[in-house]
Structures are given as structure tokens and as C-alpha cells.
Amino acid sequence: MRVGIEAIQFDVPKIFLPIKDLATARNIEPAKLEKGLGLLNMSFLDVHQDVITLAANAVYKLIQQENIQLEEIARIYVGTESGLDNSKPIASYLVSILETEFGNGKLRNCDVVDMTFACIGGVDAFHNCLDFIRLNPNKKAIVVTTDNAKYDLNSTGEYTQGAGAIAMLLSSNPKVMTIDQTVGVSTEGVFDFFKPKQTISKELITAGKDNPEWFGILESEISIVKEQPVFDGQYSNECYINRIKEAYQHFKVESNQQKNLSNEWELILMHLPYCYQGRRTFIEIFTEENPDLLDQQEGENLKEKTRALSKSPEYLEFVTKKLYPAEVASGNIGNIYTGSIFLGLLSALYFALKNDRNIAQHKVGFIAYGSGSKSKVFEGTVQEDWKKTIEKTDLFNILENRVAIDFETYEKLHKKELKNSIIEPENEFVLDFIENTTATLLGARYYKRK
């Protein structure tokens, strides 16, 4: 059964911060971020936006692009690590938003859910829906990844921030790419990056009084949930490398392929927490699969030889052909967590389109990662009609027409100090208001299209 991606669309904020401005403000040499990590621009949410508006806008574009009738959609599965409610999923918000626009009850028989496992939750939703279509080839599903990668000001993760959503229509006999059923997996329970519920004593807020009621809270502790993660960058990088190597080897076993897969794949798509993460870490796999090249390098030990190989003409040519096309959008948007690997897919396909590169019927490798930690490796095959669909996304033109903000505006947005949007919304879904008076609806979020 041939199943895979019928169409793809995306949404990102219309504003961005140039990385060089962030570097200058933080006393970092701009070249360290631009040339060292591949970072150019960082997407950031405007006042009227959140991960739900990003998701709704991406899905709306997909519906309009493919003339989708909502009754055709059996599933809308969302991958995210930026949920806005401890119970109500983003997917259920999408139902109400889309039905308001296209007609009440049109998604009444659609199964919806959110899936969370750090940055790999979108891949989990993707595989779940592909398996569903394999069992139900007449059905269609939409997979959405939506996230706001936000880090503390002045932290080592600040320059990797980004925001965006990807929406994909999955079906049998797809136009863009078929996805093979075999998956390699590596999992280990670790604390490399996570977003815990933390608590503080109410006494710190109520001036030492003996546990008075505070905004309806009777407990002596108050829970705090931050958008920003707790993380150890160096340890997370080690976990990333270990998981992808193990999942890659597991995929070779599961698919009964002992050959050099990186040579077989025309393009390689990896989770990119920052633009050059893929090229910096894939050298570990490249080294294992090219021992003769490694032996030719200068160095006293494996580490030195690997470093030399990473700068060799052979590896640089490999990066330019197979990894760079996925980096183009990442460097101009930043990390979008669950959507990162699928943004890489869209970027690589759009880059191939604009450079008239013939990739039809070629294999593409996916190497996904989510902190906590898990990696999945799988492959797809580009279809003959991929160009017509990918061209409709207009990816590069949309990125070029965004508006740069200054550093002062960025910090105010980060601290949620602004009340008015930087760019007046037009032809998009926006956060209308959050209920704060009706007791049975406190915190309910309402959206509209402007």
C-alpha cells in the first residue's frame, strides 16, 4: 500500500529578528552565529498570535490550496510541545476554528488529538496517521505540527528560537512523497531538555500569611509552567548523537539494508534545533560508513581524524548536496520544534524545485529526534508530480517578504509587554480574547479570522 504526503503547507509569523542584531546586543560575534551555526533570522510571535493561530493558518492554507472538503478528513492529529492547556488539545481548538469558517458540524466525525514527545511528537502523529491510512486507504488525514521555541533571555538557547507550523495532507497514492513502513527507533529516558511543572510556596506571594485563598487557589503551593525549557545544551547534543546513531543502525537492521544508506538517499532531513546541527552531527554516521576516508585523515586519534574528515572536500560535498537544501528555511526561521524536520522537507523540495533538480523517484532519509529522548529513522520516495504541489507553497517568497523588528521590540514581545500588534493582521486567524470573568469559562481562548 502506497501512502504518504499528498500536499504540504506552512505558516510563520510575519516578523523576525535578524540574528546579527541579537548577537550584537548579547556581545556575541555575529559570524559565530551566522557562519558557525547557520543562523540568519529568527521568527517571533506577534501580539495576536500563538501556536493555535499558526496551526489554524497552516491548515486553512492547505484546505484552500487543495480544495479539501472537511467531511473527507478522518483525522486531524497535532504534534506539539507548546500546548496551551493541560486538558484541551490544540486539535479541538482547530475543529471549532475551522467549523466557524467552513460550516458547523463538518468535522463532527473527525478524530482529533495532540501528541507530545518534545520535538519528535509531530513524527509520532505522522506515523500514527500513516498507519491509519494503510488500514483505511480511502481515508485522508491532516497532520499539523505547531510550536513556539522560546528560551530565556540571555540564555544559551536564545539565538535558536523560532515559531511556525506545518500542515500535511496524508493519503494513499500521494502526489508529493510516499513513506516506507519501516522505522528505526532508539529511546532512553533522560533529562536533557524538558518543561516541568514547578511550584513555589504561596507565602512568597502572600507576604507570609498562613495560606490564604489566592485567586481561587487553596493549596499552599502554586504551580508555575514556563514556555521556556530546562535544558543542558551539551548533554542534549550527546543524547541527540547517541539516539540518531542507534536509530539509524536499527533502521538498517529492520529494513535489511547493510549498505551505506547515506549514499542511497538523495536528500537527508534531520531535526534541526539550529541550522547546522545536522551537518555537525551526521559526521558521526558518515565516519562509521566511510572508514577508508577516515583512515586518510590526519590526526593522532579518532576525535582528531573525525574533525579533519568533517572539513574534508568529500564531506563538504556531501553536506552541500544532501543536507544544505533542508537548512535554507531553518536558517531564516529558527527552531520550530515538532515542525523542524518537516520544514526541512519543505525547504529541500522547494530548493530542488527552484534549482531545477530532478529528484522524482529518489529516496529521502528522515532522521528525527525528540528530547527525553527518542529518535526515529525512516525513508520516503519523491513522486513524479511533486513539483506542482510544492510550488504552491511559495516558501521562499513568503520568507523574503517578512518584516524585521528591532532588538528593543523583540525584548518587549518576549516579556509580553506589548498590547498592540507589530503588523496589523490581515487574512489570518488571530487570538480574539481570553475569557477572564465567567467562572465556568475562565481561561477559554477565542479566535477569529481578520
**pLDDT digit string, tens, across residues 6-19:** 999 999 999 999 99
CA gap 405, 389 in Å, rounded:
32
| pLDDT at res. 407 | 98
Assigned CATH topology for domain 3-192+232-449? Peroxisomal Thiolase; Chain A, domain 1 (3.40.47)
Q: What pLDDT score was predicted for residue 53?
A: 98
Question: Would you state the pLDDT for residue 389?
Answer: 97
Position 325, amino acid: P
- What pLDDT does 328 receive? 98
pTM recorded for the entire structure: 0.97
- Residue found by looking up cell 535558536 in the block: 160
Residues of the chain with pLDDT under 70: none
Q: How far is CA 253 from CA 182, 184, 204, in A?
A: 10, 8, 55
The pLDDT of residue 83: 96
* Beta strand residue intervals within 44-181, DSSP E: 73-79, 111-115, 140-149, 162-172, 177-179
- How far lies 326's CA from each of 15, 262, 285, 370, in Å? 21, 15, 18, 18
DSSP string, 418-430: --S-SS---SSEE
Longest dimension (CA), the chain: 71
Other beta carbons within 10 Å of 156: 12
pLDDT tens for 361-383 read 999 999 999 999 999 999 999 99
Residues 6+ apart with CB under 8 A from 444: 434, 435
